Amino acid sequence: MDPFIALADPVRRDLLRALAPGPARVVDLAARHPISRPAVSKHLRVLTEAGLVTVEDRGRERHYALARPGLAPVRALLDELAGRRPPIPESAFDALDLEVRRTVHDRRAGAGPGTGRSQEESA
């Protein structure tokens, strides 16, 4: 399910706010709302299907937690609308690190950048 559809309901947004500080049981979440516990469970299922909430069974209880990575599409849209550029992805730093290591290795080996030959061969 699309996270934007899941966030369209005010009860689901409130459930996410309640989960922001940490995991909670369904019974505790239901106590905050004037709707039935099964209705709260249905809202939690929608949030889970949208990737916004995770669930863990602990004995007879189900504990729900906010899945912060699921908010990435929402954060990206808000950043786009606010005119902010997205942060540099970690993979870009990995590629930069690899290139720096290659350059250092080539210089230590005496090869000129992009030549494939050592300085002694070119002299």
Query: What distance in Å separates the CA atoms of residue 98 and residue 42, rounded to the nearest whole number?
Result: 47
Q: What is the pLDDT of residue 14?
A: 95
Q: What is the pLDDT of residue 92?
A: 78
Per residue in 56-95, is it b (16+ CB within 10 Å) or e — as a string?
Answer: eeeeeeebbebbeebbeeeeeeeeeeeeeeeeeeeeeeee
Tens of pLDDT along the chain (123 residues) come to 889 999 999 999 999 999 999 999 999 999 988 999 999 999 999 999 999 999 999 888 899 999 999 999 998 888 888 887 766 777 778 888 889 999 999 999 886 555 555 454 444
DSSP-derived letter for residue 68 is G
